[in-house]
Chains A and B, each alone.
Chain A
Amino acid sequence: MPGAIYAEGLVKTFGDVRALDGVDLDVPEGTVLGLLGPNGAGKTTAVRVLTTLLQPDSGKAFVAGIDVLKHPNEVRRNIGLSGQFAAVDEYLTGRENLQMVGQLYQQSAKAAKARAVELLERFNLTDAADRTTKTYSGGMRRRLDLAAALVVSPPVMFMDEPTTGLDPRNRQQLWGIIEELVAGGTTLLLTTQYLEEADHLAHDICVIDHGQVIARGTADELKARTGGERVEVVVHERDQITPTHDVLAGFGKGEVMVAQHTRKLTVPVTGGAKLLAEIIRELDARGVEIDDIGLRRPTLDDVFISLTGHAAEEGRANGDGPGDGTTAAKSARPSDTITDPKESAK
């Protein structure tokens, strides 16, 4: 039996661009799928097709068991949409926005009113309920937007980059809400550029690039596929970078990456904690003052960089290590797609 969100061979072209080039998706009921990919990869197009906003050129799509192409209005009753392109009216108050959406979901005026009160309470917007949303902060607006998507407690939710542009506190808050929803049994498809977000929220991850799914699996599976652990060292003085580089080159299993500004050196290793201890002793012996050192497992960032970098270099000899991937990705992608929100937000 297909999942709550199911797509097979979705194709959508805009002129010469194949925004979707044969995408298959299957999201079991009650789970979260994280759709990951750089800008222009086709994530938003996929969401637009699944939420009845866009007709695919070919392929099948079912949401909550209903054929999206044959019964779009039936699908609309069962979904909530939130994110970068489902907006709220800035000249209406929070309450008016929710009431309007409720009525357009075909609730009675009375039911819509009662539901708006509930949602405003739940999303901490009661105090701002009767102010126009123009006056809301970005975080408040996102919460209202999400509330609007939840007016009928739809069994299937779509969120397109729900936390883009939010500060860390608001992001955490929104994650909390999303987790509660999923705990309640909602099926969720989430697109994001933040790998941390997918790691945190998604059961399964689908990496999409140039309109094609280039990898899928759990976060752990994808990390395992990308490669082993690394040692990261931050030295105290910039002139200690060179001696540290020499030490790491001796112990490592690949190229040493150096970030001059942050005085951070990274090298892929095998050997775990024992090796880490050896490296520390060696650095100590050479009088290198260490600010931070640690053994890191690959993050989804590494996975992403490796995968999309790889895709960009199609047809060439494959360098599968995270190091090689980084180099390839840096030349091929805008750097903002590989920014870790934890780093940039703090």
Chain B
Amino acid sequence: MSAVTEASPKALAPPPRGGVVQSVRDSLVVAKRNLIRMMRIPEMIIFGLIQPIMFVVLFTYVFGGSINIPGAPSGSAQAYREFLMAGIFAQTVTFATAGAGAGIADDMHKGLIDRFRSLPMARGAVLTGRTLADLVQTALTLVVLAAVALIIGWRTHENIGSVLAGFGLLLFLGYAFSWIGALIGLIVRTPEAATSGGLIWLFPLTFISNAFVPVNGMPSFLQHVAEWNPFSATVQAARELFGNTIPGREASVTGAWPMEHPVWASLIWSVLIIVVFRTLAVRRYRSATA
């Protein structure tokens, strides 16, 4: 051990800047840390990609010929392909929930949250940093997925600005859902539990929606549920922004407001989810115990 020549133990941490500047800075420091981690565990990203790619291929070729899109020629595989993609994209972004949950639970488990909580850093920064890193990962996943979709015949019919806006709404939804994951990660005690806890409720949520099949075939009660489902609003909005809806067809079966104004509905739902779950997660973080 080299000799210690510490002048004095009084060299304190610089005074916290406080406020928004410190919050942003601390969040970015934590986001950078999480991104470095992700790059060093490439298998996580790869497994994160396999599932949505499988869904794209399976749904397109297995269900594609059997599902009739109202207004489109019966059994039109191309119509279903275009209908499906917004749904698959939206489902994929919600999987960020599991990633954020598992990451936070792992940090709790390993004692890193204790380390962070003993530092003079902004309160929400550990969680914000994690959700920002997940946002980057989600964006990467979407790029790959969109490429696969294009290869198997998905086409957009709107200008590039509109298409990008569609992806923007999808990413925003994914970001909102990663806050749900952050809360789950703080509540459960193991990364495994966070992964399954982050996924099980996603299946009913994403299937009782307009994502994979038109809601026309559902019982009337489920039609209402599906069209008010926060998830459906983003799917519908993306579909419209991509130009993947059937021309001349009503957006909604039940006349639900979110289906008539999907872009607004998507934004409102995502903001609402962030406000509620960020508040709960930060509160939980402040009293977190490993």
Q: How large is the interface on A (under 10, 10 to 19, 20 to 34, 35 or more residues)?
A: 35 or more
Contact B9 A185 (CB under 8 A): yes
Contact A132 B115 (CB under 8 A): no
Contact A91 B36 (CB under 8 A): yes
Contact A184 B9 (CB under 8 A): yes
Does residue B287 face the partner (Cβ distance < 8 Å to A)?
A: yes
A103 to chain B, nearest CB (A): 5
Q: A106-B13, A107-B13, A121-B2 are in contact. Are A101 and B37 (CB under 8 A)?
A: no
Of A175-183, A219-227, A228-236, A311-319, the one with at least 4 CB within 8 A of chain B: A175-183
Of A79-87, A279-287, A320-328, the one with at least 4 CB within 8 A of chain B: A79-87
Contact partner of A184 (CB less than 8 A), chosen from B6, B110, B112, is B6
Main secondary structure of the interface of B (DSSP, over half): loop
In the bound assembly, the distance between CA atoms of A86 and B115 in angstroms comes to: 5
* B residues less than 8 Å from A96 (CB atoms): 33, 36
Q: A89-B33, A152-B11, A153-B11 are in contact. Are A184 and B4 (CB under 8 A)?
A: yes
In the bound assembly, the distance between CA atoms of A155 and B14 in angstroms comes to: 14
Does residue A58 face the partner (Cβ distance < 8 Å to B)?
A: no
Contact A124 B33 (CB under 8 A): no
Q: How large is the interface on B (under 10, 10 to 19, 20 to 34, 35 or more residues)?
A: 35 or more
Contact partner of B37 (CB less than 8 A), chosen from A91, A155, A177, A185, is A91
Contact partner of B117 (CB less than 8 A), chosen from A52, A92, A101, A108, is A52
* B residues less than 8 Å from A186 (CB atoms): 9
Contact B121 A104 (CB under 8 A): yes
* B residues less than 8 Å from A122 (CB atoms): 1-2, 4
Q: A77-B13, A184-B8, A185-B9 are in contact. Are A91 and B118 (CB under 8 A)?
A: no
A189 to chain B, nearest CB (A): 13
Main secondary structure of the interface of A (DSSP, over half): loop
Nearest CB in chain B to that of A111: its residue? B14
In the bound assembly, the distance between CA atoms of A123 and B112 in angstroms comes to: 21
* A residues less than 8 Å from B116 (CB atoms): 104
Contact B111 A87 (CB under 8 A): yes
Q: A100-B33, A101-B115, A104-B116 are in contact. Are A54 and B289 (CB under 8 A)?
A: yes
Contact partner of A73 (CB less than 8 A), chosen from B1, B9, B16, is B16
* A residues less than 8 Å from B249 (CB atoms): none
Contacts A/B (CB < 8 Å), 17 sampled:
A54-B289, A76-B13, A76-B118, A77-B13, A81-B115, A87-B112, A89-B37, A103-B25, A104-B29, A105-B121, A106-B15, A107-B13, A122-B1, A154-B13, A184-B6, A185-B8, A185-B9
- Contact residues of B with A, CB < 8 Å? 1-2, 4, 6, 8-17, 22, 25-26, 29-30, 32-33, 36-37, 40-41, 110-112, 114-121, 125, 287, 289-290
